[in-house]
Amino acid sequence: MPSSENSSHYYHNPSIIELRKVKTVSLTQIMGLLSFMFLAMAAGAFLVPPNYFMIAVILEFILLFTIPVMNRRALTRGDDPSAGLTGGLALVFAACAGVVLGPLVQTLAASSDGLAVLGQAALVTFIVFAAFGAYGLMTKRNLSSMSKVLFIGLLVLLGIMILSMFFSSFFSPFGLLIGLGGAILFSLMTALDFQRAKYATADNAVMVTLSIFLDFVNLFTFILDIFLIFGGGGMRKR
């Protein structure tokens, strides 16, 4: 909630509240933050030693809850979240995501065959990500209607992945189907989140960018899984 001083200011200038409600951000601003998040992720994946993996997992989990809180606090102060601490925490989150991927990425990058698999997976991910992102921006269809179905699909996928950790002998034959299912799910979520970005306001720009970033990370993970199943399963070590 705004402070009493700000409340008085808004009381005498009611139009300011309306301006904040309808203030939009340019797609360029969102893509700019997303680009910096990609760079932070790459730095974390290639430059940070694998022994920081667990620290990054814990910090990433904490930031998932901290960033929305800091975003709300920035808004109550009338600040632009993407230009302050909230945007900085989003970059830290991206770096942690890279560190979590680091052990696998660095293992693959250590050999020519592994590096080829990594490069092919990254290229396909960027192509799919760009294609579905462009669809989300250009389509006139309201994609929010499929958000509930995608959320249910996400829960089902998460449940299968958790079960596969305990019953790997049963789920291992379905690894390719799980990979394809995850890739399709996060491709559709990419389209949905890019459409949200098209109409994003300053209030939720960082959160929408974070959602798009997570779509990319998960899409890359599942596509890499598919490539490893076909061409480099023996190199995969988690």
Q: How far is CA 14 from the centre of its chain?
A: 36
pLDDT of residue 24: 62
- Residue 164: which pLDDT band, with cuts at 50, 70 and 90? confident
Question: Residue 164, class by beta-carbon neighbours within 10 Å (0-12 exposed, 13-18 middle, 19+ buried)?
Answer: middle
**pLDDT value at 100 more than 80:** yes
Residue of 178 and 15 predicted with greater confidence: 178
Query: CB neighbours of 213 closer than 8 A, spacing ≥ 6?
Result: 34, 37, 38, 41, 90, 94, 97
Give me the chain's average pLDDT, please: 83
CA nearest neighbour of 144 among 190, 196, 209: 196
Domain boundaries, the chain: 4-235
Q: What are the residue ranges of helices labelled H in the chain?
A: 4-12, 14-22, 27-47, 53-76, 85-109, 112-138, 147-166, 168-171, 175-198, 205-227
pLDDT of residue 17: 39
C-alpha to C-alpha distance for 160 and 164, rounded to whole angstroms: 6
Residues 14-29: pLDDT tens digits?
443 344 444 566 788 8
Q: What is the mean pLDDT of residues 23-43?
A: 86
Lowest mean pLDDT among 101-105, 198-202, 216-220: 198-202
Lowest mean pLDDT among 1-10, 29-38, 110-119, 188-197: 1-10
pLDDT of residue 23: 58
pLDDT of residue 3: 47
pLDDT of residue 84: 76
What letter would DSSP give residue 66?
A: H
Question: Residue 26, class by beta-carbon neighbours within 10 Å (0-12 exposed, 13-18 middle, 19+ buried)?
Answer: exposed
Structural Rg of the chain based on CA atoms = 20
**pLDDT value at 13 more than 60:** no
Q: What is the mean pLDDT of residues 78-85?
A: 72
Q: Model-level pTM?
A: 0.82
The residue assigned the tokens 């933050």 is: 33
pLDDT of residue 62: 95
pLDDT of residue 8: 39
Q: What is the DSSP string of 11-65?
A: HH-HHHHHHHHH-B--HHHHHHHHHHHHHHHHHHHHHS-GGGHHHHHHHHHHHHH
